[in-house]
Amino acid sequence: MADKSFFIDTTKCTACRGCQIACKQWNKNPGTKTVQTGSHQNPPDLSFFTFKLVRFSEIETGGDPKWYFFPDQCRHCMEPPCMSTAESLGSKAIARNEATGAVVFNPKIKVKPADLKSIRESCPYDIPRWDERMGVMAKCTMCSDRVKEGMPPACVKACPTGTMNFGDRKDMLERANKRLEEVKKVYKDAMLANPEDVRAIYLLVDDPKKYHKFAVAENTFGITRKMALKRLFQPLSNLRHVIG
Ligand code: SF4
Ligand code: SF4
Protein backbone atom coordinates (compact mmCIF):
# COMPACT_ATOMS: atom_id res chain seq x y z
CA MET A 1 0.00 0.00 0.00
CA ALA A 2 1.38 3.36 -0.95
CA ASP A 3 1.82 6.44 1.21
CA LYS A 4 -1.64 8.10 1.42
CA SER A 5 -2.91 11.67 1.72
CA PHE A 6 -6.09 13.73 1.81
CA PHE A 7 -6.65 16.70 -0.48
CA ILE A 8 -9.25 19.04 1.06
CA ASP A 9 -10.49 21.61 -1.45
CA THR A 10 -12.26 24.17 0.76
CA THR A 11 -13.46 26.09 -2.32
CA LYS A 12 -16.05 23.33 -2.79
CA CYS A 13 -17.19 22.99 0.83
CA THR A 14 -20.80 23.92 1.63
CA ALA A 15 -20.49 23.19 5.39
CA CYS A 16 -23.17 20.50 5.14
CA ARG A 17 -21.31 18.56 7.88
CA GLY A 18 -21.85 15.20 6.14
CA CYS A 19 -18.15 14.41 6.78
CA GLN A 20 -18.49 15.24 10.47
CA ILE A 21 -21.50 12.92 10.89
CA ALA A 22 -19.94 10.10 8.84
CA CYS A 23 -16.83 10.29 11.04
CA LYS A 24 -18.97 9.99 14.19
CA GLN A 25 -20.91 7.05 12.76
CA TRP A 26 -17.94 5.05 11.51
CA ASN A 27 -15.99 5.51 14.73
CA LYS A 28 -19.12 4.81 16.84
CA ASN A 29 -18.52 8.05 18.70
CA PRO A 30 -21.49 9.34 20.72
CA GLY A 31 -23.10 12.68 19.92
CA THR A 32 -21.75 15.62 21.91
CA LYS A 33 -24.17 17.56 24.11
CA THR A 34 -24.07 21.09 22.78
CA VAL A 35 -25.95 24.38 22.66
CA GLN A 36 -26.48 26.93 19.91
CA THR A 37 -23.78 29.57 20.35
CA GLY A 38 -24.84 31.78 17.47
CA SER A 39 -22.57 30.04 14.98
CA HIS A 40 -23.20 27.32 12.40
CA GLN A 41 -20.16 25.56 13.95
CA ASN A 42 -21.47 22.87 16.24
CA PRO A 43 -20.17 21.42 18.53
CA PRO A 44 -17.86 24.33 19.27
CA ASP A 45 -14.62 22.32 19.20
CA LEU A 46 -12.94 18.98 18.53
CA SER A 47 -13.12 16.54 21.44
CA PHE A 48 -12.31 12.99 22.47
CA PHE A 49 -15.53 12.00 20.64
CA THR A 50 -15.34 14.49 17.73
CA PHE A 51 -12.43 13.80 15.38
CA LYS A 52 -13.74 15.91 12.51
CA LEU A 53 -15.27 19.36 12.88
CA VAL A 54 -16.47 21.73 10.17
CA ARG A 55 -15.25 25.09 11.44
CA PHE A 56 -17.24 28.13 10.39
CA SER A 57 -16.11 31.77 10.47
CA GLU A 58 -18.15 34.76 9.43
CA ILE A 59 -16.03 37.81 8.64
CA GLU A 60 -17.21 41.28 7.69
CA THR A 61 -15.49 42.74 4.66
CA GLY A 62 -16.62 46.27 3.83
CA GLY A 63 -20.07 45.67 5.31
CA ASP A 64 -20.65 42.33 3.55
CA PRO A 65 -20.32 39.13 5.58
CA LYS A 66 -18.09 36.44 4.11
CA TRP A 67 -18.18 32.79 5.16
CA TYR A 68 -15.15 30.53 5.55
CA PHE A 69 -15.66 26.77 5.97
CA PHE A 70 -12.83 24.60 7.28
CA PRO A 71 -13.37 20.83 7.76
CA ASP A 72 -10.75 20.43 10.49
CA GLN A 73 -8.98 17.15 11.33
CA CYS A 74 -5.56 15.67 12.13
CA ARG A 75 -3.05 16.40 9.34
CA HIS A 76 -1.19 13.07 9.76
CA CYS A 77 2.10 14.99 9.64
CA MET A 78 5.06 13.62 7.69
CA GLU A 79 7.30 14.12 10.79
CA PRO A 80 4.65 14.16 13.52
CA PRO A 81 5.64 16.41 16.45
CA CYS A 82 3.01 14.67 18.65
CA MET A 83 4.78 11.34 18.17
CA SER A 84 8.25 12.81 18.80
CA THR A 85 6.98 14.41 22.01
CA ALA A 86 5.34 11.18 23.18
CA GLU A 87 8.56 9.27 22.47
CA SER A 88 10.67 11.85 24.27
CA LEU A 89 8.40 11.32 27.30
CA GLY A 90 8.88 7.55 27.12
CA SER A 91 5.35 6.85 25.84
CA LYS A 92 4.41 4.49 23.03
CA ALA A 93 0.88 5.91 22.81
CA ILE A 94 1.45 7.29 19.29
CA ALA A 95 2.61 5.25 16.31
CA ARG A 96 2.71 5.53 12.55
CA ASN A 97 0.99 3.11 10.19
CA GLU A 98 3.91 2.28 7.93
CA ALA A 99 1.66 1.26 5.02
CA THR A 100 -0.31 4.52 4.76
CA GLY A 101 1.64 7.03 6.84
CA ALA A 102 -1.34 7.56 9.18
CA VAL A 103 -0.42 8.78 12.67
CA VAL A 104 -2.42 6.70 15.14
CA PHE A 105 -3.12 7.15 18.87
CA ASN A 106 -3.26 3.82 20.71
CA PRO A 107 -6.57 3.79 22.65
CA LYS A 108 -5.19 1.24 25.13
CA ILE A 109 -2.13 3.20 26.28
CA LYS A 110 -2.78 5.66 29.08
CA VAL A 111 -1.03 9.02 29.23
CA LYS A 112 -0.52 11.26 32.23
CA PRO A 113 -2.29 14.65 32.21
CA ALA A 114 1.05 16.49 32.08
CA ASP A 115 2.17 14.37 29.11
CA LEU A 116 -1.10 14.99 27.29
CA LYS A 117 -0.57 18.73 27.80
CA SER A 118 2.93 18.52 26.28
CA ILE A 119 1.71 16.38 23.37
CA ARG A 120 -1.15 18.75 22.62
CA GLU A 121 1.11 21.81 22.82
CA SER A 122 3.57 20.21 20.41
CA CYS A 123 0.88 19.78 17.71
CA PRO A 124 1.00 22.79 15.36
CA TYR A 125 -2.69 22.21 14.53
CA ASP A 126 -4.13 21.76 18.07
CA ILE A 127 -5.57 18.30 17.38
CA PRO A 128 -4.92 15.84 20.26
CA ARG A 129 -7.78 15.45 22.75
CA TRP A 130 -8.00 13.39 25.95
CA ASP A 131 -10.58 11.53 27.99
CA GLU A 132 -10.00 12.39 31.63
CA ARG A 133 -11.84 9.32 32.97
CA MET A 134 -9.98 6.77 30.84
CA GLY A 135 -6.70 8.70 30.56
CA VAL A 136 -6.28 8.02 26.83
CA MET A 137 -6.08 10.24 23.75
CA ALA A 138 -8.09 10.19 20.51
CA LYS A 139 -8.22 11.86 17.09
CA CYS A 140 -8.74 11.01 13.39
CA THR A 141 -7.37 7.57 12.53
CA MET A 142 -7.38 8.08 8.73
CA CYS A 143 -10.00 5.27 8.90
CA SER A 144 -7.12 2.78 8.74
CA ASP A 145 -9.62 -0.09 9.07
CA ARG A 146 -11.47 1.06 5.92
CA VAL A 147 -8.35 1.99 3.94
CA LYS A 148 -6.85 -1.46 4.61
CA GLU A 149 -9.91 -2.96 2.84
CA GLY A 150 -9.54 -0.62 -0.15
CA MET A 151 -12.27 1.85 0.95
CA PRO A 152 -11.83 5.62 1.36
CA PRO A 153 -12.11 7.22 4.82
CA ALA A 154 -15.75 7.72 5.90
CA CYS A 155 -15.56 11.53 5.58
CA VAL A 156 -14.38 11.25 1.97
CA LYS A 157 -17.07 8.72 1.10
CA ALA A 158 -19.78 10.97 2.58
CA CYS A 159 -18.70 14.31 1.04
CA PRO A 160 -21.14 15.20 -1.77
CA THR A 161 -19.17 18.12 -3.25
CA GLY A 162 -15.68 16.80 -3.99
CA THR A 163 -14.13 18.78 -1.14
CA MET A 164 -12.77 15.65 0.56
CA ASN A 165 -10.39 13.59 -1.59
CA PHE A 166 -8.11 10.71 -0.63
CA GLY A 167 -5.57 8.55 -2.42
CA ASP A 168 -1.89 7.92 -3.07
CA ARG A 169 0.13 10.89 -1.82
CA LYS A 170 1.73 11.57 -5.20
CA ASP A 171 -1.69 11.77 -6.89
CA MET A 172 -3.16 13.98 -4.17
CA LEU A 173 -0.22 16.42 -4.38
CA GLU A 174 -0.59 16.56 -8.15
CA ARG A 175 -4.32 17.16 -7.89
CA ALA A 176 -3.82 19.84 -5.23
CA ASN A 177 -1.23 21.73 -7.29
CA LYS A 178 -3.35 21.54 -10.46
CA ARG A 179 -6.42 22.86 -8.64
CA LEU A 180 -4.31 25.61 -7.01
CA GLU A 181 -3.27 26.83 -10.47
CA GLU A 182 -6.93 27.01 -11.58
CA VAL A 183 -8.13 28.74 -8.43
CA LYS A 184 -5.30 31.30 -8.46
CA LYS A 185 -6.76 32.76 -11.66
CA VAL A 186 -9.65 34.05 -9.54
CA TYR A 187 -8.19 34.20 -6.02
CA LYS A 188 -4.63 35.57 -6.13
CA ASP A 189 -3.97 34.68 -2.46
CA ALA A 190 -4.92 31.01 -2.90
CA MET A 191 -2.47 28.60 -1.26
CA LEU A 192 -1.92 25.04 -0.11
CA ALA A 193 -1.45 24.76 3.67
CA ASN A 194 1.97 23.19 4.51
CA PRO A 195 1.65 20.62 1.66
CA GLU A 196 5.14 19.14 2.13
CA ASP A 197 4.67 18.63 5.88
CA VAL A 198 1.23 17.03 6.09
CA ARG A 199 -0.97 14.25 4.75
CA ALA A 200 -4.14 16.38 4.91
CA ILE A 201 -3.48 19.09 2.33
CA TYR A 202 -5.90 22.04 2.44
CA LEU A 203 -6.53 24.45 -0.43
CA LEU A 204 -7.40 27.92 0.93
CA VAL A 205 -8.18 31.09 -1.01
CA ASP A 206 -7.59 33.74 1.63
CA ASP A 207 -5.58 34.48 4.78
CA PRO A 208 -5.52 31.13 6.68
CA LYS A 209 -6.27 32.92 9.97
CA LYS A 210 -9.69 33.83 8.57
CA TYR A 211 -10.52 30.10 8.40
CA HIS A 212 -9.09 28.97 11.73
CA LYS A 213 -6.33 29.99 14.13
CA PHE A 214 -4.52 26.67 13.48
CA ALA A 215 -5.27 26.28 9.74
CA VAL A 216 -1.52 26.42 8.97
CA ALA A 217 1.46 25.68 11.19
CA GLU A 218 3.15 28.78 12.54
CA ASN A 219 6.43 27.59 11.15
CA THR A 220 6.88 25.23 8.24
CA PHE A 221 9.12 22.73 9.97
CA GLY A 222 6.22 21.02 11.72
CA ILE A 223 7.73 21.67 15.14
CA THR A 224 6.59 24.34 17.55
CA ARG A 225 8.90 26.68 19.41
CA LYS A 226 7.72 25.21 22.71
CA MET A 227 8.63 21.75 21.51
CA ALA A 228 12.07 22.82 20.30
CA LEU A 229 12.79 24.35 23.72
CA LYS A 230 11.43 21.28 25.47
CA ARG A 231 13.71 19.00 23.46
CA LEU A 232 16.68 21.20 24.20
CA PHE A 233 16.10 21.09 27.94
CA GLN A 234 14.62 17.61 28.35
CA PRO A 235 16.14 15.51 31.18
CA LEU A 236 18.98 13.13 30.29
CA SER A 237 16.81 10.15 31.30
CA ASN A 238 14.39 11.00 28.47
CA LEU A 239 17.24 11.42 26.02
CA ARG A 240 18.49 7.95 26.96
CA HIS A 241 15.04 6.57 26.08
CA VAL A 242 15.15 8.27 22.67
CA ILE A 243 18.64 6.96 21.96
CA GLY A 244 18.21 3.44 23.28
S1 SF4 B 1 -1.73 17.18 13.21
FE2 SF4 B 1 -1.09 17.11 15.34
S3 SF4 B 1 -1.99 15.21 16.12
FE4 SF4 B 1 -2.03 15.08 13.88
S5 SF4 B 1 -0.11 14.04 13.33
FE6 SF4 B 1 0.29 16.24 13.24
S7 SF4 B 1 1.13 16.72 15.27
FE8 SF4 B 1 0.09 14.73 15.44
S1 SF4 C 1 -19.12 16.73 3.62
FE2 SF4 C 1 -17.85 17.90 2.17
S3 SF4 C 1 -19.09 19.71 1.65
FE4 SF4 C 1 -20.00 18.80 3.51
S5 SF4 C 1 -18.98 19.90 5.22
FE6 SF4 C 1 -17.76 18.07 4.85
S7 SF4 C 1 -16.14 18.71 3.43
FE8 SF4 C 1 -17.75 20.31 3.38
Mutational test site, ligand 1, from 72, 103, 122, 199, max ligand atoms within 8 Å of CB: 103
**How far, in Å, from the CA of 14 to the mean position of ligand 1?**
25
**How far, in Å, from the CA of 179 to the mean position of ligand 1?**
25
pLDDT value of residue 62: 81
Residue 55 Cβ < 6 Å to ligand 2: no
pLDDT value of residue 37: 86
Each residue's pLDDT tens digit, 212-221: 999 999 754 4
Model pTM score: 0.89
pLDDT value of residue 240: 37
| Total Cβ atoms within 10 A of residue 155 | 25
What stretches in the chain show pLDDT beneath 50? 220-244
Strand ranges for the chain from DSSP E: 4-9, 53-61, 64-72, 94-96, 103-105, 129-131, 136-138, 164-168, 191-193, 200-204
Residue 22 Cβ < 6 Å to ligand 2: no
**How far, in Å, from the CA of 90 to the mean position of ligand 2?**
38
Closest ligand (CA of 215)? 1
Closest ligand (CA of 158)? 2
Each residue's pLDDT tens digit, 164-191: 999 999 999 999 999 999 999 999 999 9
pLDDT value of residue 93: 97
Mutational test site, ligand 1, from 8, 139, 140, 202, max ligand atoms within 8 Å of CB: 139
CB neighbours of 142 closer than 8 A, spacing ≥ 6? 4, 74, 76, 97, 100, 102, 103, 104, 153, 199
